[in-house]
């Protein structure tokens, strides 16, 4: 069997060794070369023809973002970004996903934790899935932010400013994973400002990254988008993104839907988990729910959406052609609970149509 050929790009010799050792520990993978900056990487891609590239974001001479843009222009291939757990790292990583990176992995702040079994497992799993994914040149237009200033929390939670209501027709729950940050930018900005629904989103991401993603989506959308906080009352026309490392759950208090953040165990291998959100919504016994499952590896969300469907909710899945990874939608479709399978470009439109179901 042919091994998956990986090129490791990082300016730190220590990190190149650690990453290479983790990759080489799997018999299906082979490190064909290492590069210390983006410039070297571009040359080595031509000569070594790797199947997958792991790329550090911050490097001298030519950084990861510049190299990524050139790779996607000249010879698109799966690139997994390695990012630091910082605010700047989050912003740069979201840019990388816009430019066409397959996915990302966060580097621990402590060198002692660099080669933990969890990181090794995540890295190997993502490389294997990336190697089976056809990467094409990004053809979409990156949506420009409509405002530069982010809206402060008190502006969200004050009805007098938002002029929004806590009684609404539907609750919409959206769950993507791999490929999700980019896919959400093709869905959330197209949801009309006056939609008569509260919206919850779970995107598998570490803490800090979800805040940057929420601010980014808010800046380009008609509706408001914020990182969810414990005790947030859900308003119509506002989307609440689960923070990294917390499950988002919904309770009903005095006729209002209220967000409860749960820092418990992982559910379906994730925290935040799409299943955890869907279980919580299904437990409300409310049929006025629209569940949306989008691009992502694994099966998180499938069981939860079965419960939503059992309570007469409406379920939409992204189609295979428009997914980066079809795992999560495929698992949900297999359970026979999906009402409509649509392309990424049609999800927002389908949500609006489902408001009338």
Q: How far apart are CA 140 and CA 11, in angstroms?
A: 31
Active-site choice (26, 204, 221, 246): 204
Q: Contact, 232 vs 240, CB < 8 A?
A: yes
Q: How far apart are CA 330 and CA 138, in angstroms?
A: 23
Q: Is 204 a catalytic residue?
A: yes
Active-site choice (56, 98, 275, 300): 300
Q: How far apart are CA 327 and CA 296, in angstroms?
A: 6
- Spatial CB neighbours of 66, under 8 Å, sequence gap ≥ 6: 38
Active-site choice (83, 177, 268, 322): 177
Cis upstream peptide for 272 (omega within 30°): yes
Q: For the sheet containing 224-227, what is the strand order?
A: 224-227, 238-241, 197-201, 170-175, 289-293, 314-318, 340-342
Q: Contact, 67 vs 9, CB < 8 A?
A: yes
Q: Is 300 a catalytic residue?
A: yes
Q: Contact, 38 vs 9, CB < 8 A?
A: yes
Q: How far, CA to CA in Å, does 201 sit from each of 177, 181, 293?
A: 11, 11, 10
Active site residues per annotation: 177, 204, 300
């Amino acid at each position: 069997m042919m091994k998956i050929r990986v090129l490791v790009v990082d300016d730190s010799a220590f990190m190149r060794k650690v990453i290479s050792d983790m990759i080489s520990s799997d018999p299906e993978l082979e490190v064909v070369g290492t590069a210390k900056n983006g410039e070297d990487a571009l040359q080595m891609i031509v000569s070594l023809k790797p199947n997958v590239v792991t790329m550090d974001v911050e490097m001298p001479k030519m950084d990861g973002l510049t190299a990524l843009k050139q790779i996607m222009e000249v010879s698109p291939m799966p690139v997994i970004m390695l990012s630091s757990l910082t605010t700047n790292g989050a912003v740069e990583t979201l840019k990388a996903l816009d430019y066409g990176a397959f996915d990302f992995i966060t580097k621990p702040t402590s060198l002692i934790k660099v080669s933990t079994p969890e990181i090794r497992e995540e890295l190997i799993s993502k490389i294997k899935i990336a190697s089976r994914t056809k990467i094409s040149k990004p053809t979409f237009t990156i949506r420009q932010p409509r405002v530069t200033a982010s809206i402060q929390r008190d502006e969200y939670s004050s009805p007098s400013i938002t002029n929004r209501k806590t009684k609404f027709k539907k609750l919409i729950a959206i769950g993507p994973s791999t490929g999700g940050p980019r896919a959400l930018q093709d869905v959330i900005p197209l949801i009309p400002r006056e939609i008569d629904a509260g919206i919850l989103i779970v995107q598998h991401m570490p803490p800090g990254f979800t805040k940057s993603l929420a601010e980014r989506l808010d800046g380009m959308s008609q509706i408001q988008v914020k990182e969810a906080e414990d005790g947030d009352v859900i308003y119509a026309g506002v989307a609440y993104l689960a923070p990294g490392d917390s499950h988002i759950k919904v309770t009903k208090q005095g006729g209002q839907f209220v967000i409860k953040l749960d820092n418990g165990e992982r559910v379906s291998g994730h925290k935040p988990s799409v299943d955890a959100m869907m279980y919580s919504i299904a437990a409300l016994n409310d049929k006025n729910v629209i569940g949306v499952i989008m691009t992502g590896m694994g099966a998180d969300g499938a069981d939860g959406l079965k419960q939503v469907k059992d309570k007469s909710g409406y379920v939409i899945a992204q189609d295979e052609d428009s997914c980066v990874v079809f795992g999560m939608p495929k698992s949900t479709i297999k359970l026979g609970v999906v009402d409509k399978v649509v392309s990424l470009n049609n999800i927002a439109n389908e949500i609006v149509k489902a408001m009338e179901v």
